[in-house]
Structure 1
């Protein structure tokens, strides 16, 4: 009889454990149906013009862009177009207040989307079904791409590379190619991608600039790949303010 009672208790305990709900879900303040990046309002200056062509793309270069629409972003430095998924919603607002330079503006704490006291244009990105995992992921991605291109066509992107090491140097020759002398028998010759401006103010410094953030930093990473910074002698190609911790070699 005692054996049967203990067996029943074990079965009942196992059932209760399965029915217990994780209390941390009730205490979590995380909004699972929103995107932290996507929900941020995009502010952009009046010299940037954004147009949304809602015509579906029927012959895309990439299969994933099928039935997407086209968003064009134009500014003083250039124009970019990006595909927008059909479930992405874009809401625009243009202030009727005459434009005033940022340094001449009065401070404000109002962060409402529609605020006539604001001088910047605004864009809000949302998705049709935020509970959908794919749409929620694309929500933040789309918002980040738009913000990057807005900055690109209005301010541009600029990154510098430093050549550290005896004899390490770079030069921009008359053929428009970048030559890297970084300890190899022959110099490394690199084609400069379209859309990137490259200058070599000193033999140990290269400056890249352009309107496409991804393109500029990708080319910088490709240059760095030919001579990555090494921690023992602190030599190599450094991007921007990059630093590495110095290591000491083990003595036998």
Structure 2
């Protein structure tokens, strides 16, 4: 029995869910998102909550049960609150600036990096050493944050680079004289 799958996904006020076959469409104040589940699970809306149950007792059905419930819960969270990743830039001369919808990153390379932000995600730079990535799709928000971080991953000696705000950088000791 899946502990995650057993819990129904509560639909807060202002959020509507429609099921068409194996496709769930969730509409909320921030937008509309949809997810297509596999044939191994059954979806149902009852009493203001969306429940997922497996079809059969196969291993694949049990695997899809918890995963489908989590994906549907992420749809509901995305259209109500949205998702957010915060990045911090550390290093002398390292900074970020917004140029319209694009981000200009100065990261100690021979040229400045211009990162194009995809549709569905908003990136803001409250300070020149901080970036906030927001959107209603958790996967897309995480991918954009990872793509920005990939330009300069934090290094273990001085901690220079782009890191998540809640990330811990294991520091190494430098050379001894």
- TM class, shorter-chain normalised? over 0.9
Quick check: 1:35 aligned with 2:2? yes
* Residues 82-101 of structure 1 deviation map (CA, whole Å, 9 limit, x = unaligned): 1122331123222xxxxxxx
- Structure 2 residue aligned with 1:52: 19
Residue of structure 2 equivalent to 1:159: 85
Structure 2 residue aligned with 1:126: 53
User: How far, CA to CA, are the matches of 2:172 and 2:46 in structure 1?
Assistant: 54
Q: Deviations over 1:33-88 (max 9, x none)?
A: x223222221220211000012xxxxxxxxxxxxxx21101100000111122331
Task: Give the match's secondary structure for 1:135.
Answer: helix
Q: Secondary structure at the match of 2:5?
A: coil
Q: Secondary structure at the match of 2:68?
A: helix
Distance 2:24 2:9 in 1: 15
Which consecutive unaligned segments of at least 5 residues does structure 2 have?
none
d(CA) in 1 for partners of 2:114, 2:58: 47
In 2: Cα distance, 1:41 partner to 1:249 partner:
52
Structure 1 segment 34-183 matched on structure 2, within 5 A: 34-54=1-21, 69-94=22-47, 121-129=48-56, 131-174=57-100, 176-183=101-108
Measure, in 1, the Cα distance between the counterparts of 2:38 and 2:158. Answer: 49
Aligned CA-pair RMSD: 1.4
- Name the SS for the 1:178 alignment partner: strand
Greater C-alpha radius of gyration: 1
Distance 1:90 1:82 in 2: 11
Q: How many residues align?
A: 177
Measure, in 1, the Cα distance between the counterparts of 2:87 and 2:108.
17
The alignment's TM-score, normalised by the length of structure 1, stands at 0.67
Deviation for aligned residue 1:158 = 1.3
Give 4+ residue runs of structure 1 displaced > 3 Å after superposition.
none
TM-score, scaled relative to structure 2: 0.94
Of structures 1 and 2, the one scoring higher in RCO (CA 8 A, sep 6+) is 2
Pick aligned residue for 2:141 from 208, 212, 216: 216
Structure that is richer in strand per residue: 2
Residue 198 of structure 1 is matched in structure 2 by 123
Aligned-residue offset at 1:182: 0.7
